[in-house]
Amino acid sequence: MQDTIEKPAVEHRVGDLLREWRQRRRLSQLDLALEAGISQRHLSFVESGRALPSRDMVLKLADNLEVPLRQRNRLLLAAGYAPSFPERPLEDPALRPAMEAVRLVLDGHAPNPAIAIDRHWTMLAANSAIAPLLEGIEDPSLLAPPVNALRLSLHPKGLAPRILNLEEWRAHVLERLRQLNDRVADPALEALEKELAAYPAGRGPKPRPSPTSMIAVPLRLKLGDAELAFITTTTIFGAPLDVTLSEIAIESFFPADEATARFLRGIGE
């Protein structure tokens, strides 16, 4: 009887991970094989653990599947290879030019608010226009580092009592988190989504959309006697090769009406 040689468990693991990412992207084996320029049979062998992909093949499949850099390193490790993408701390000198660029964008956006966030929506930096919006938060612990921007916005002792369209904004935030986690598969984001969904405020039906809502979901805030309205944009680095840098985003707030623009110009003077 011929001896059976056990394949290393790592082979099955990388195949499982690749299959999970393919299914997350809603691609068939044939779809992915055609995009990657390989046979469906070979991809099937990789996913089942009957074949161990080369380093280049792992990276090629990950690229076709738009796998985040952090998870590409995980795929490489699962296949028995060293990670390709470094993960430097924010204080690393190599990231200094990038962090200086972040600060320039934040400061240049004033008097409009802007924040820099990491993959878990932890605030890394903010410009001077953010502080006035956060004055008088009921629970000061929400402003103690590390500050989670989404928790701060929906917490009943955070910004939630000031959000005039809380039902609409809450639904937008939760849907955005679902879509993000569908792309990156991060358990911490899944836990954050469950936490935010459990907050009691904002569970009512969505109000009728305003004219601004027809182009983007606005954030409507009550600040003293002023009623402010913002639309947001997200900026990320192009072609990052560092895990930390790839996960930094800048969330910029723009006035959705002239009254908000005047208010922001006033506090910026």
Block residue for tokens 């990412």: 21
> Looking at residues 126-131, what average pLDDT do you find?
96
Tell me the residue ranges of DSSP E strands in the chain: 114-117, 123-126, 219-223, 226-236, 249-255
Given phi > 0 = left and psi -120 to 50 = alpha, else beta, which region is 155? beta
- Mean pLDDT taken over the chain: 91
Q: Report residue 269's pLDDT band, with 50, 70 and 90 as the boundaries.
A: low
* Complete domains list, the chain, with CATH: 9-78 (1.10.260.40), 93-268 (3.30.450)
Burial 61-84 (b: 16+ CB within 10 A, else e): bbebbebbbbbbbbbbbbbebeee
Residue 211 reports pLDDT greater than 70: no
Q: Measured on CA atoms in the order 100, 103, 109, 111, is the torsion positive or negative?
A: negative
> What proportions of the chain, in percent to the nearest 5, are helix, strand and coil?
50, 15, 35
Q: In the chain, pLDDT over 90 holds for what percent of residues?
A: 85
Residue 8 reports pLDDT greater than 50: no
Residue 105 reports pLDDT greater than 50: yes
Cα 13 from Cα 10, distance rounded (Å): 5
Residues 6 or more apart whose CB falls under 8 angstroms from that of 212 comprise 218, 229, 231, 256, 257
Residue 148 reports pLDDT greater than 60: yes
Q: Report residue 219's pLDDT band, with 50, 70 and 90 as the boundaries.
A: very high
Residue 72 reports pLDDT greater than 80: yes
